[in-house]
Amino acid sequence: MPIEITMPALSPTMTEGNLAKWVKKEGDKVSAGDVIAEIETDKATMEVEAVDEGVLGKIVVAAGTEGVKVNAVIALLLAEGEDKKAIANWKPKEEPKAAKSSESGVQSPDKKKDADAPATAAAAPVAQATKAPDVPVKAATGGQVQSGSRAKASPLAKRLAEKNSIHLGRVPGTGPHGRIVKSDIEEALLRGGAGGGAVRRHPVEMVKVPNSSMRKTVAKRLTESKQQIPHFYLTVECEIDTLLNVRAQLNAQAEARAGKGNPPAYKVSVNDMVIKAVACALRDKPEANASWYDDAIIQYNNVDVSVAVAIDGGLITPIVRNADQKSLPQISSEMKSLAGRARKGELKPEEYQGGGFSISNLGMYGIQQFGAIVNPPQACILAIGSGEEKVVRRNGEFTVVNVMKVTLSVDHRAVDGALGAEYLQLFKQYIEQPVLMFV
């Protein structure tokens, strides 16, 4: 039986095309890879390459025919040893079926596997999540720039490129196997010809990163928090020049005690001092160290501060317990241990479960100000921004000071606006007068 040459699907969404031209004619010898025809779609003119070897025995669809369905037979190829009699015995199938494509324009690499895979349960009961598409998914077209000597292009594209002095090596091909087609040359002309910047698409459109148990838990808790907790936000600006000087003195003293060449016993960070200031302010204003429940507001007698730490796959909030009673060197050493073990996944449950107040610090990333989401059942979380210089006027003179913006996110059910403002004023006092932390 002769080999059927069918209308190819030149893109995932293609259902039909126009047979623009036959490059080979009946009786011509055809080798694998030879261009036998040119197909027009709504987006480009592309070439059809032969997959098998033989002689073009019959052209079923004439050149210029429009609306040829994908997978319809367009020609017959006689294999070695066959003659015209084989064509006489050939009968066309009843109705060629168009290539199936997904609504999104990308096909799953394993549809049976996709159908058998169980659906993942939604992470949060308050919102139904949609299932992610099956990926990685390869791009329908290469879109890759080829070297000039090896650039593959259709005859029409080559003529158009030569006419407009466009270097084919600088044009990304979007045809089959990265071949350059007419529309690619036209796009290059719109970009200014050969000097236009080449657009390089990654051959894999997307990748699927499975949600870890931690990421699902974080998503569930934060979704519940944002939907069920009435947030309000208070922002205050703190001058930190004195705090920076005290920090420098503490660290210099630690280095001096350790001696030359020896590591210091501690190195206090700005974040360590923020933890201490938060704890001291909570000690002075215990009403802010609270959680809301339907039948009562719970106020905590101990000052346990949760500190957000970014780890692979999410974040975790290890707790500095009784932070108001600990020295800055103690807080510094404890936080380094907690953060290090958190990133290794070695924290014990009691080291990250509980706490009455949270801190989220993005200042080290250059973030000036942001609003964090309350970490239930806690009522407050303090978002710390970066320090920056600011010009202020004092006693008729201008001077430059370092300031840090902090934003308190509050559960209005447990902490009112006035109480939140009073707490922030106490925090600001400890930051701007750090000597009070040592009293």
* Residues that are catalytic: 412
Say if CB 408 and CB 418 are below 8 A apart. no
Tell me the two tokens of residue 26.
């009946």
How far apart CA 147 and CA 96 sit, in angstroms, is 39
Exposed/middle/buried for residue 79 (C-beta within 10 Å: 0-12, 13-18, 19+)? middle
Under DSSP, the state recorded for 262 is S
Pick from 52, 114, 42: nearest CA to 77: 52
Q: Are strands 73-78 and 54-59 parallel, antiparallel or unpaired?
A: antiparallel
Give me the torsion for CA of 325, 330, 335, 337, rounded to 10°. Answer: -130
Say if CB 234 and CB 410 are below 8 A apart. yes
End-to-end CA distance of the chain: 98
Residue where the block lists tokens 């992610």: 132
Provide φ and ψ at 410, rounded to 5°.
-130, 140
Order the strands of the 3-6 sheet from edge to edge: 3-6, 73-78, 54-59, 29-30
Say if CB 19 and CB 64 are below 8 A apart. yes
**Residue 68: its H or E element:** strand 65-69
How far apart CA 210 and CA 428 sit, in angstroms, is 42
Q: How far is CA 4 from CA 27, 48, 367, 408, in A?
A: 15, 13, 63, 71
Under DSSP, the state recorded for 94 is S
How far apart CA 407 and CA 420 sit, in angstroms, is 11
Pick from 74, 67, 62, 64: nearest CA to 5: 74
Pick from 149, 188, 148, 200: nearest CA to 169: 148
Residue where the block lists tokens 């001291």: 280
Amino acid, res. 358: S
How far apart CA 331 and CA 347 sit, in angstroms, is 17
